[in-house]
Structure 1
């Protein structure tokens, strides 16, 4: 799954266009390297998102195309 879509489906970022713009601006890193929106997310990846003053790191636990609000929290773990 593409990184921008993963960020939206997991509800880390609310809109896919915002996720895409954050990737283009270099505010999203995967495993310590800046990642493009087209990066293919895999289980075990560590995603670091920097938006404004907030900087958070997540570990990918599950990759699924669709997720309900309750299931979205099971897709990642906050580090």
Structure 2
């Protein structure tokens, strides 16, 4: 699954266009490698996302094309969350 689509489906980022912008700005890495919006995400991958002053590390646990809002958090597991100065 494409990175931008995963971020939207998992509701980590609300809109796919915003997910694309964040990825194209170089604020996301997949398993330590710089990611683009078109990068492929697989179950077990580790994503590091920079949200402003926050650095969030998540592990992809499941991939689905569509998911209900209350089940979206089951697609990933937050490993750590830290403030980025």
Q: Shorter-chain TM-score: what band?
A: over 0.9
- Residue 63 of structure 2 aligns with which residue? 63
- Residue 54 of structure 2 aligns with which residue? 54
User: TM-score normalised to the size of structure 1?
Assistant: 0.97
User: TM-score normalised to the size of structure 2?
Assistant: 0.90
Whole-Å separation in 1 of the counterparts to 2:29 and 2:14: 18
Instruction: Specify the SS of the correspondent of 1:49.
Output: strand
Structure 2 unaligned segments of length 5 or more: list them: 80-85
- Residue 38 of structure 1 aligns with which residue? 38
Higher-strand-fraction structure: 2
Whole-Å separation in 2 of the counterparts to 1:13 and 1:71: 15
* Count of equivalent residues: 79
Larger Rg computed on CA atoms: 2
Instruction: Specify the SS of the correspondent of 1:71.
Output: helix
